[in-house]
Amino acid sequence: MGKKHYLLFLLVIMSIFIAACANDSNVEEETAEGDEGAAEDSGASGDLTIGMMDEMVTLDLHGSNDSASSQVRRNIYETLIYQNVDMELEPGLATEWEQVEDTVFNLKLREGTTFHNGSEFTAEDVKATLDRVRDEAVASQVLFLFEMITEVEVVGDYEVNLHTEYPFAPLPSHLAHTTGGIMSKELIDSDYQAALDAAEVDMTADEFYELREEGGSEYEEVAEQISEDLGGVIGSETDGTNHLQLESRSAGESVTLAKFDNFQGGERNFNNVTFRVIPENGARMAELETGGIDVAIDIDSSSVDRIESGESTELLEQESVRMSYLGFNTQQEPFDDLNVRQAISHAIDRDSIISGVYDEMGIAAEGPLAPDVWGYNEDLEGAEYDIERARELLSETDVADGFDTTIWVDNDPQIVDTAVYIQESLSELGINVTIEQFEWGAYLETLANGDHDMFILGWTTVTADADYGLYALYHQDNIGEPGNRSFYENQELSDLLDAGRSESDEDARYDIYQEAQEILGEEVPTAYLFHTNFALGVNSDNVSGVELDPTGGVRFDKVTFPE
């Protein structure tokens, strides 16, 4: 997306903002997922079952940033600002928002909203949630989304000011991220209290919050004592304001959510919604065709024809803002050598993978950002497939004759097939690759430890802004769990990414991200592979109205059931 497109994007956002701020007299009909998300009452209700490949990692919003967990949690918790299926920002738990100073955002909050436990939603819940995600005792993987917030000031019961360390233009988009969902202060209090009790610290949760506000060595000591036990309650219990509440969870098998009758965002036709873990693609397809599940997500391209030709199945396909990549552990030999990384990148025939594995459902990646992400560098030239150039580059290294290594992958069949393609290509350079597979949750945790050589992962720029697409993956402060699993350190790049966050002039900010992508194009801490389309299957005999957004998120606000 170039500058002109970004200006159009700004105009759209401003029009939404003006509409949000102009009139709040009818807030209850137009709040998060309200007019846009409300289903027309079909007169029929039913239960919805969704089959997914991976199990959610945790119910804790601040405990992971994986897509499987997001699919579930986004239906339990509402965000302050809502991102609709077209990636536009709308009122959520905040009915209005405005940047009143360079480093202050003011948010007016929705009144009359209740949590699943019956308590009233107020500014104190916003403060408790945003304070928690920034608490070093929690050590949240999604801290990078909210770390610029220095203070959550409660102005009134339904008004907050968010103070930031520096001007940060994308903050509304960050607040719309699914991990920005608002939890009740009661749930947060119970989580802290359980951790304090487990550590035998004679202190209430509120006393700990006061200590945290003061900072200093005493807070550091208590934070360290309770850190291992934080998340125990929030990882197994939930309390949000969205249209579904936790009914039950069977580890490795399913999560069932029940309709929340007091939801303010419009009518829903579903009762219970169950997310079933069905790792094997063929099994998901069989369940979809027989009506065992209503929706199958994580569809691979080999199933497209099967779904499209099925008598009772329908395919939904969506271009994405996702980038799939081959990551290098840049702190391990020989991947600390730029020439080795460049050689491997040139040895990969991306078009063959897109054709052979993804049936043309995607495009080759020139760099780390998808074309529809603001800040995308249109002039960046990716590493074209050139095996002779790859040999030349490798000949200039200490491993000119090749070496033995591994590629780690999860259980996604298409990712495994991609690894096989890369394995065969690298054999031409004398690089002998062993492919090792991991279960999803263990995969993310193990990668964060830094014991790998190469790995394949994807990153979805859910905010559609370059900051989210680059900061977590490549800033040296985010090594490990937050996203930089390449263990890549580059002070010049990190300085640029910091500057991009704090620059308020959009043209200057745009130029910063152009330069950052040029560095990444040269340094290749990851080999940028492709931007694949998302796809899901729907049993059209059972349900209609399911939607798929560019981040891969399944939206079933408008789902209807046959009479």
At 277-298, the pLDDT tens digits run 999 999 999 999 999 999 999 8
CATH class in words for 322-532: alpha beta
Q: Where are the beta strands (DSSP E) in 180-293?
A: 244-250, 254-259, 270-277
Predicted local distance difference test score (pLDDT) of residue 482: 86
pLDDT tens digits for range 472-488: 999 999 999 889 999 99
Confidence category of residue 496, pLDDT binned at 50, 70, 90: very high
Res. 43 pLDDT band, cuts 50 70 90: low
pLDDT, one tens digit per residue, over 375-384 is 999 999 999 9
What is the Cα–Cα distance from 198 to 205, expressed in whole angstroms? 13
Three-state SS for 58-106 is CCCCCCCCCHHHHHHHCCCCCCCEEECCCCCEEECCEEEEEEEECCEEE
Is the pLDDT score of 14 beyond 70?
no
Structure tokens at 398: 């200490």
Q: Which amino acid is at 323?
A: M
Instruction: Look at residue 247 in the predicted model and tell me its pLDDT.
Output: 97
Instruction: Work out the percent of the chain whose per-residue pLDDT is above 90.
Output: 83
Average pLDDT over the chain, rounded to whole?
91
Residue 307 has pLDDT above 70, yes or no: yes
Residue reference for tokens 């395919």 = 315
pLDDT (average), residues 115-132: 98
244-319+534-555 CATH pick, 1.10.357.10, 3.40.50.720, 1.10.1040.10, 3.40.190.10: 3.40.190.10
pLDDT confidence of residue 481: 86
Residue 456's pLDDT is 97
Distance set, CA 75 to CA 79, 82, 113, 373 (Å): 10, 12, 16, 25
Q: Is the pLDDT of residue 32 over 50?
A: no
pLDDT at 21 over 60: no
Average pLDDT over residues 456-485: 93
Contact 275, 72 (CB under 8 A): yes
Encode pLDDT of 203-226 as tens digits: 999 999 999 999 999 999 999 999
Q: Would you kindly state where each structural domain of the chain is located, as residue ranges?
A: 3-38+60-226, 244-319+534-555, 322-532
Domain covering 3-38+60-226 assigned CATH 3.20.20.70 in the classification: no
Partners of residue 97 on adjacent β-strands: 107
pLDDT value at residue 422: 98
**Residue 441 binned pLDDT confidence (cut-offs 50, 70, 90):** confident
How far does Cα 520 stand from its chain's mean position? 21
Alpha helices in 177-280 (DSSP H): 185-198, 205-214, 217-226
Span 327-372, pLDDT tens digits: 999 999 999 999 999 999 999 999 999 999 999 999 999 999 999 9
Cβ atoms of 144 and 138 closer than 8 Å: no
Instruction: Give the pLDDT score at 11.
Output: 37
Whether 16 has a pLDDT exceeding 90, the answer reads: no
For CA atoms 258, 262, 268, 269, the dihedral sign is positive
